[in-house]
Amino acid sequence: ETGVTQTPRHLVMGMTNKKSLKCEQHLGHNAMYWYKQSAKKPLELMFVYNFKEQTENNSVPSRFSPECPNSSHLFLHLHTLQPEDSALYLCASSEGTDYEQYFGPGTRLTVT
């Protein structure tokens, strides 16, 4: 595999479910990111990790819980979500500060 991969690509979950999104980067990058893309809204940065340490939490509700076990893997744990959390969740990685970010294909999440 090359680049940034995300699984699953599509996810439908109820408001009481617990699920996790997975991201893996094969680029040797140090930083990883989660973004949320809702219809008709700009991409919103959610979390940033650099060398496994969280460096940014953009006021994300606690029902979203990130985990970064190493520089290549990033997870987003989801629990008790709301319908308005339905969106495309994009993972990205970069070599470091000021470098371009490379994005995965995203997970299309629907909360019912």
Partner 1 sequence: AQKVTQAQTEISVVEKEDVTLDCVYETRDTTYYLFWYKQPPSGELVFLIRRNSFDEQNEISGRYSWNFQKSTSSFNFTITASQVVDSAVYFCALSEAITGGGNKLTFGTGTQLKVEL
Q: Which residues contribute to the site for partner 1 (CB under 8 A)?
A: 30-31, 33, 41-43, 45, 48-51, 53, 55-56, 88, 90, 92, 94, 96-106, 108
Q: Which of 23, 58, 22 is nearest to 43 (CA)?
A: 58
Our CB check for partner 1 shows the closer of 49 and 64 to be 49
Give the number of C-alpha atoms closer than 13 A to the C-alpha of residue 73, restricted to the C-beta side: 8
Closest distance to partner 1 from the beta carbon of 21 (Å): 14
Q: Which of 38, 34, 10 is nearest to 101 (CA)?
A: 34
CA–CA separation, 104 and 40 (whole Å): 20
Our CB check for partner 1 shows the closer of 53 and 84 to be 53
Our CB check for partner 1 shows the closer of 65 and 95 to be 95
